[in-house]
């Protein structure tokens, strides 16, 4: 039997009427027990995608399943499985962190409220601020409060939108450690970030999203290997030839450009043969460092 994925998105497109197209034909599968990251610059479409998984926003087309449940037709089955830390604040400033967590725990029908609230506060290192009104907390502490809300009741899947943005390095690291321990307990995490380093530290697998489209997918070491001088074939059109995948990785840059990264020089004649046989003649072969290509590909992310 094929095991059910924690999250599966099939051809998700989201258009905010009349524009923009914020997500374009996104397909991903998140396995149970992994940390999957969406890496992209501001405006790439990360939050839009998250809000569709969490049943907040309807896809324009395509389907998303959470543990096999359709987010559109079975949202009531999806919600108890997920804990969400949104990017925008949804906190009540006049409550203290502890009150907010208690309120949330009751809403989520968590069984042992007091214990779960304390556990969440402790995990996010918030005990000493738990009786301070949220409106008086710094933005970093508010962000930690959002994470504490997401983990209350220890849901099977955490969905975190830029969980560490604005945090100091020590808090960031302690959140990373917590997330890794959450994974160790067999849970799944889907997160977004625009920080390459964070993605590398945390994620088992990543998808890079750019202008609403996934332009690369893989584990961090595969993606990093792009920067370690391999052979790059730049094809000046969008190419859809699955046969090329056996020679390396295909990155689609824009509508009019495809980059094929191959590691074996011996494959060059075969690849050229396939391209030419498919009437694709406008390409160049370049075996200098891929760093430049990668920076070009993700340039906006590095600058975000």
Ligand X SMILES: Nc1ncnc2c1ncn2[C@@H]1O[C@H](COP(=O)(O)OP(=O)(O)O)[C@@H](O)[C@H]1O
* Binding stretches for ligand X (CB under 6 A): 16, 20, 22, 40, 42-48
298 contributes a contact to Mg ion by CB under 5 A: no
CB 139, CB 87: distance < 8 Å: no
- How far apart are alpha carbons 192 and 1 in whole angstroms? 31
Instruction: Identify which of residues 137 and 208 has a Cβ nearer to ligand X in the complex.
Output: 208
H or E segment and range at residue 22 = strand 21-30
Instruction: Identify which of residues 196 and 239 has a Cβ nearer to Mg ion in the complex.
Output: 196
Helices vs. strands in the chain: H and E counts, helices first = 10, 14
CB of 254 vs ligand X, minimal distance in Å: 16
- How far apart are alpha carbons 36 and 158 in whole angstroms? 10
- How far apart are alpha carbons 179 and 283 in whole angstroms? 43
CB of 46 vs Mg ion, minimal distance in Å: 5
Instruction: Identify which of residues 48 and 145 has a Cβ nearer to ligand X in the complex.
Output: 48
233 binds, among ligand X, Mg ion, none (CB under 5 to 8 A by kind): none
CB of 46 vs ligand X, minimal distance in Å: 3
| Of positions 23, 41, 47, 130, contacts Mg ion by CB under 5 A | 47
CB of 20 vs ligand X, minimal distance in Å: 5
- How far apart are alpha carbons 288 and 250 in whole angstroms? 17
- How far apart are alpha carbons 263 and 254 in whole angstroms? 23
Other beta carbons within 10 Å of 284: 9
- Residues facing residue 213 across a β-bridge: 210
222 binds, among Mg ion, ligand X, none (CB under 5 to 8 A by kind): none
CB of 129 vs ligand X, minimal distance in Å: 27
Instruction: Identify which of residues 110 and 301 has a Cβ nearer to ligand X in the complex.
Output: 301
- How far apart are alpha carbons 275 and 280 in whole angstroms? 5
- How far apart are alpha carbons 5 and 29 in whole angstroms? 7
41 contributes a contact to Mg ion by CB under 5 A: no
Instruction: Identify which of residues 43 and 218 has a Cβ nearer to ligand X in the complex.
Output: 43
Residues in CB range of 36: below 8 A, 6 or more apart: 7, 28, 30, 188, 189, 190, 191, 203, 204, 205, 206, 207
302 binds, among Mg ion, ligand X, none (CB under 5 to 8 A by kind): none
Residues in the chain: 304
Token reading at 250: 């295909």
23 contributes a contact to Mg ion by CB under 5 A: no
CB of 66 vs ligand X, minimal distance in Å: 19
48 contributes a contact to Mg ion by CB under 5 A: no
43 binds, among Mg ion, ligand X, none (CB under 5 to 8 A by kind): ligand X
What is the size of the binding site for Mg ion (CB under 5 A)?
A: 3
The residues that touch Mg ion, with contacts defined as CB under 5 A, are 46-47, 87
């Amino acid at each position: 039997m094929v095991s059910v994925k924690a999250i599966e998105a099939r051809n998700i497109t989201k258009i905010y009427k009349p524009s923009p197209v914020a997500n374009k034909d996104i397909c991903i599968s998140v396995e149970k027990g992994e940390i999957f990251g969406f890496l992209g610059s501001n405006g790439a479409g990360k939050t839009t995608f998250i809000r569709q998984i969490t049943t907040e926003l309807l896809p324009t087309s395509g389907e998303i399943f959470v543990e096999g449940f359709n987010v559109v037709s079975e949202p009531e089955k999806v919600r108890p499985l997920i804990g969400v830390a949104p990017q925008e604040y949804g906190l009540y400033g006049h409550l203290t962190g502890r009150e907010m967590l208690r309120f949330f725990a009751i809403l989520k029908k968590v069984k042992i409220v007091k214990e779960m609230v304390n556990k969440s506060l402790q995990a996010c290192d918030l005990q000493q601020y738990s009786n301070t009104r949220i409106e008086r907390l710094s933005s970093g502490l508010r962000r930690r409060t959002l994470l504490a809300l997401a983990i209350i009741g220890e849901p099977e899947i955490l969905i975190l939108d830029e969980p560490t943005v604005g945090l100091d390095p020590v808090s960031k690291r302690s959140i990373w450690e917590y997330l890794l321990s959450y994974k160790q307990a067999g849970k799944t995490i889907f997160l977004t970030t625009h920080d390459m380093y964070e993605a590398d530290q945390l994620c088992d697998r990543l998808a890079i999203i750019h202008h609403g489209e996934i332009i690369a997918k893989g584990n961090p070491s595969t993606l990093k290997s792009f920067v370690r001088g391999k052979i790059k074939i730049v094809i000046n059109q969008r190419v859809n030839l699955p046969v090329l995948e056996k020679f390396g990785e295909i990155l689609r840059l824009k509508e009019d450009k495809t980059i094929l990264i191959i590691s074996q020089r011996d494959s060059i004649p075969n690849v050229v043969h396939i391209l030419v046989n498919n009437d694709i003649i406008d390409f160049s072969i370049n075996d200098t460092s891929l760093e430049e290509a990668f920076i070009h590909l993700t340039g906006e992310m590095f600058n975000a």
